[in-house]
Amino acid sequence: MNLTEELELKVSLRDGHISALVEKARGGDRDAFEKLIALHQDEIFRLVFFRTRSKIDSEDLTQDIFLSVFKYLPQLKDSDRFRPWLYRIALNRVHDFHRKNKFLAYFGFTESREDADAADIEPHRNPGALDTVIRKEFWSHVKRLTERFSRMEKEVFLLRFIDDLNLREIALTLHRSESAIKTHLYRAIRKFKEDTTLSEFLQGEWQGEKDKTS
């Protein structure tokens, strides 16, 4: 499926159509499942990449996630809740990955990726020296910010602003009430607001991009 076809599919299959696809996929329709993959692969890869910061690991995990989805899809009771259910599986797989990595790192078999700083992130988009420095700085800001978050605050913050889930979807994904999600998000945003260096960095970068385009 090429990019134009994917975009057309995304436009034509918004909202209620996804439920219909889920129903078909539950019935064993492989085409419907492949369409579901095409619709959600970018956002799931994004979710995984932001939490692992490794392209190869993210590719493998994304593949695993969709295999799990295919395996357990018949167990999904409400097809309207497909997206939170998918995110739940993805988050669980990412947590398993970190747990396994920590265990291996403890015995010196591998390096723990959860606390990896910017230097460990693979270059992919902007190979220029300046861009590399900017990216490193950005990731060090993100690392410092997320270290101040509790685990739940971090999860809710990322799901809201990186993965673009609404409050209801986050609540369903994390099996919490909406008010609990609001509380975690409130605390996380307050910490974000207090981090003036990150705000200044983002403001500067944004201004720089604006100057470049003009």
Partner 1 sequence: MKKIRHLDDNQIVEAAIDEIGLDGLLRRHLSECTACRAQKEELQAGLARFAEFSRGEIPLDFRKPKLAAEKSGGGMVNVWRIHPVLSLCAALSVLVLFLTPIVINRDKIFTKRVVYREMLQDEKFMAEVRNLEDDPLPGFYVDISGPGSHKPNVESAKPGAKNDVRPAPKVGLRNA
Residues within the interface to partner 1 (CB under 8 A): 30, 33-34, 37, 41, 45-46, 49-50, 55, 58-59, 62-63, 65-67, 70, 121, 124-125, 135, 138-139, 142, 161-162, 164, 167, 182, 185-186, 189-190, 192-193, 198-199, 202-203, 205-206
Quick one: 8 or 106, whose CB is closer to partner 1? Answer: 8
Quick one: 107 or 210, whose CB is closer to partner 1? Answer: 210
Quick one: 104 or 202, whose CB is closer to partner 1? Answer: 202
Of 167, 161, 169, 165, nearest in space to 145 by CA = 161
The residues, ordered by sequence, that sit 6+ positions from 177 with a Cβ below 8 Å of its Cβ are 171
Q: How many CA atoms lie within 13 A of 214 on its CB side?
A: 6
Report the nearest approach of partner 1 to the CB of residue 104 (Å): 23
Quick one: 102 or 195, whose CB is closer to partner 1? Answer: 195
Report the nearest approach of partner 1 to the CB of residue 142 (Å): 7
In the DSSP assignment, the letter for residue 122 is P
At residue 77, φ and ψ (nearest 5 deg) are: -80, -45
Quick one: 151 or 190, whose CB is closer to partner 1? Answer: 190
Report the nearest approach of partner 1 to the CB of residue 106 (Å): 29
> What is the C-alpha separation between 203 and 200, in angstroms, rounded?
5
Q: Calculate the CA 119 to chain-centre distance.
A: 20
Report the nearest approach of partner 1 to the CB of residue 88 (Å): 17
Q: How many CA atoms lie within 13 A of 71 on its CB side?
A: 7
Of 193, 210, 172, 167, nearest in space to 83 by CA = 172
Report the nearest approach of partner 1 to the CB of residue 164 (Å): 8
